[in-house]
A = this chain, B = another copy of it.
Amino acid sequence: MEEALTTANDAMFTANNLWILIATVLVFVMHLGFATLEAGFVQKKNAVNILFKNAMIIAIGLLTYYFIGFSLMYPGTNAGGLFGFAGFGLHYPEGPAIAYNGAMTYWTDFIFQAMFAATAATIVSGAVAERIKLESFLIFAAVFVAICYPITGMWKWGAGWLDAAGFYDFAGSTLVHAVGGAGALAAVILLGARKGKYGKDGSIKPIPGHNMPLATIGVFMLWFGWFGFNGGSVLSADPVGVSLVFVTTCLAAAGGAIGAFFTSFALFKSHDLSMVLNGILGGLVGITAGADQMGPTSAIIIGLVAGIIIPFSVVFFDRIKIDDPVGATSVHLVCGIWGTLAVGIFGAKAGLTQLGIQLYGCLAIIAFTFVFAFVVMYVLKVTIGIRVSEEEELKGLDLGEHDMNAYADSVEQGAYNLSVK
Copies of this chain assembled into the complex:
3
Give bound CA distance, A30 to B13, whole Å: 29
The answer to whether A220 and B48 touch across the interface, beta carbons within 8 angstroms, is: no
* Cα–Cα, bound, A403→B62 (Å): 41
List of 5 A-B pairs having minimum Cβ-Cβ separation, nearest first: A43-B410, A196-B417, A107-B243, A59-B257, A11-B11
Cβ distance A389 to chain B, nearest Cβ, rounded Å = 14
A125 to B195, CA, bound (A): 40
Do A420 and B224 touch (CB < 8 A)?
A: no
- Point out residues on A near B: beta carbons under 8 Å: 3-4, 6-19, 21-22, 24-26, 28-29, 31-32, 35-36, 39-40, 42-48, 51-52, 54-56, 58-60, 62-63, 66, 89-90, 96-97, 102, 104-108, 110-111, 114, 134, 194-197, 199-200, 203, 205, 207-214, 216-217, 219-221, 223-224, 227, 231, 237-240, 242-244, 246-247, 250-251, 253-258, 261, 268, 270-274, 276-277, 280, 296-297, 300, 394, 396, 401-411, 413-421
Bound-state CA distance A25–B240 (Å) is 16
Query: Inside 8 A of A208's CB, which chain B residues have their CB?
Result: 404-405, 408, 410, 413
Residue of chain B at shortest CB distance from A55: B276
Instruction: For the complex, give the distance between the alpha carbons of A221 and B35 in Å.
Output: 12
Please, which residues of chain B bring their CB within 8 A of the CB of A19? 18
CB distance from A344 to the nearest CB of B (A): 24
Known: A213-B39, A271-B52. A239 touches B14 (CB 8 A): yes
With known contacts A102-B3, A271-B134, A22–B22 Cβ distance under 8 A: yes
A14 contacts B16, C-beta separation under 8 Å = yes
Given the interface contacts A199-B420, A408-B209, does A63 sit within 8 Å of B111 by beta carbon? no
Inter-chain contact A107/B247, CB cutoff 8 Å: yes
A207 B39 Cβ-Cβ under 8 A: no
A21 surroundings in chain B (CB, below 8 A):
227, 231, 242-243, 246
Residue on B nearest A280 in the bound complex, by CB: B55
Q: Which residue of B lies closest to A265 (CB)?
A: B135
**Residues B96 and A196 in contact, CB atoms below 8 Å apart:** no
Give the complex CA separation of A154 and B365 in angstroms: 50
Do A413 and B277 form a contact, CB below 8 Å, given A55-B257, A246-B107, A257-B55? Answer: no
